[in-house]
């Protein structure tokens, strides 16, 4: 169940596919798609017996109290060099 009330005012388009709800933001010729991340709980970190694990990667519960929009892809800047 999602708590998305409507498309954000900064979005140009929106929808839902087999993965999740999405919105797109278009600036000039660049489009960035965002995915809705539901509030909820999950385990973060890695198990002590996981290969190539660092000592500071202890498993712990994370609780997201609010949903949020997360960009689908990395965003970079071009300074026209």
User: In the chain, where are the structural domains located?
Assistant: 13-48+55-71
Q: Which position has the higher pLDDT, 77 or 31?
A: 31
Average pLDDT, the chain: 86
Q: Has this prediction a pTM greater than 0.75? A: no
Answer yes or no: is pLDDT of 80 > 70: no
3-state secondary structure of 74: coil
Residue 1: pLDDT band with limits 50, 70, 90? very low
Per residue in 16-53, pLDDT (tens digit) is 999 889 999 998 888 899 999 989 999 999 988 899 98
d(CA 69, CA 25) in angstroms, rounded, equals 12
d(CA 44, CA 24) in angstroms, rounded, equals 28
Residue 76: pLDDT band with limits 50, 70, 90? confident
């Amino acid at each position: 169940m999602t708590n998305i009330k409507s498309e954000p005012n900064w979005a140009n388009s929106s929808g839902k596919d087999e993965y999740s709800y999405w919105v797109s933001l278009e600036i000039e010729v660049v489009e960035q798609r965002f995915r809705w991340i539901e509030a909820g709980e999950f385990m973060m970190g890695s198990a002590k017996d996981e290969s190539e694990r660092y000592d500071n990667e202890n498993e712990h519960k994370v609780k997201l109290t609010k949903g949020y929009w997360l960009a689908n892809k990395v965003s970079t800047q071009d300074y026209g060099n």
